[in-house]
Amino acid sequence: MTTHASAAHASTAQAAQAAGPLAGLLVIDLSRALAGPHAGQMLGDLGARVIKVESPGTGDETRSWGPPFVAGSDGENYSTYFLSCNRNKESIALDLKSDDGRETLTALLARADILVENFRTGVMDRLGFGTAALAELNPALIQLSITGFGHDGPEGGRAGYDQIVQGEAGLMSITGPGPADPQRVGTPIADLLGGIHGVVGVLAALHERAATGRGRVVRTSLLSSLVGVHAFQGTRVTVAGQTPEAQGNHHPSIAPYGLFGCRDGHVQISVANDRLWQAFCAEFQLDSATPGLGSNPERVANRQQTIAFVEAAFRDSDAADLLARLSAAGIPAGKVRNLTEVYEWDQVRSQGLIIDVDHAALGEISLPGPALRFFDVDASGERERARARHEAPPTLNEHGDAIREWLAAEVAR
């Protein structure tokens, strides 16, 4: 399939830093807040050129979400929330209600490979960029649209924010210490999964386009992204006829699997089968055939007895000693780290999960990095094929002039 002209003429800076499977593709990111921006960021991490279109003056609403804010050299305050989901992007400010804004966006979309938007249903049509109009403008364009509760159905037009959807999708009912105290997940998981599912759909559409030459509309929602990861909790409802409830830090179908107290804190263990149970009991001189605890179904049915059995064995030991013994015995185990400890962990840095970028106003800053790594493999072994560098989240309209100059050159071709 012929590559879009935009891809062949990406800016020198973008070409230098675009190392990844999607290098050469152009993404127009009209989204704001988190689900869409997270999808756009993932596409940028994979090497695509991502142009973020923002409202003049204010930009993406997350630019004002805080504290925390960090003071820049230009006297502006920068939201750490915005910094979390907009790396590897360029920014242009466009008023989409003006002739200039619509004309510039039209020129961008005519040259794009992928559009990301998360407006409420009907907004793109009112702006003059509905799915049919975009397909006519650029038949090869892949349109990713993310909504809160879906694009159709009895509540299809409903606005969706992460915590609201966590509640509506049942996630809060199975999270927390018990059914009387529902809890949200500590990250905006509905938004993040919405972005991830959106990228999966885009990648499938790109594969299809390689054969057909035509784009496709890809739709997902925060609701569908959470229901889609109910996993065994979902089949407890649909197959077993149960209604799962929150039960704290212990697995509903495996025991012992959860957080257990010890002398100086807690450790987590996962005894996922009876072989591990026997190894666990041997390490701590326990009777694996204790009545009511001999098999996993028995231990699940007698959960409180199981917890007390394990914590009695842990009571006089410190967490560090327990983790060493559990590791030696082959029992999956770990501690609970706070986030500062996570980002100080050598294992995290070894996986490329912290990246250093040079921000236009903040200077050198560190950000959480992408979750994927790529390797070339031949007879001599594996070689990681990493990006030459990552780009910092842009300041508002940071690349506006450069993008307009590039578009003018494209039109003149």
How many Å apart are CA 43 and CA 47, to the nearest integer?
A: 7
CA distances from 160 to 35, 126, 220 (A): 11, 20, 12
Which residues 6+ apart lie within 8 Å of 150 measured at CB? 156, 219, 221, 223, 224
Catalytic residues: 191
How many Å apart are CA 313 and CA 276, to the nearest integer?
A: 16
Residue 229 neighbours by CB distance under 10 Å: 16
Q: Which helix (H) or strand (E) holds 54?
A: strand 49-54
Residue 358 neighbours by CB distance under 10 Å: 12
CA distances from 301 to 251, 294, 305, 308 (A): 12, 11, 9, 14
Q: Locate tokens 């992460």: which residue?
A: 162
Listed residue (144, 123, 274, 265) closest to 216, CA to CA: 144
Question: Which tokens belong to 166?
Answer: 């966590």
How many Å apart are CA 183 and CA 258, to the nearest integer?
A: 17
Strand order in the sheet with 26-29: 90-93, 49-54, 26-29, 114-117, 142-147, 217-221
Considering only CA atoms, give the Rg of the chain: 25
Residue 115 neighbours by CB distance under 10 Å: 29
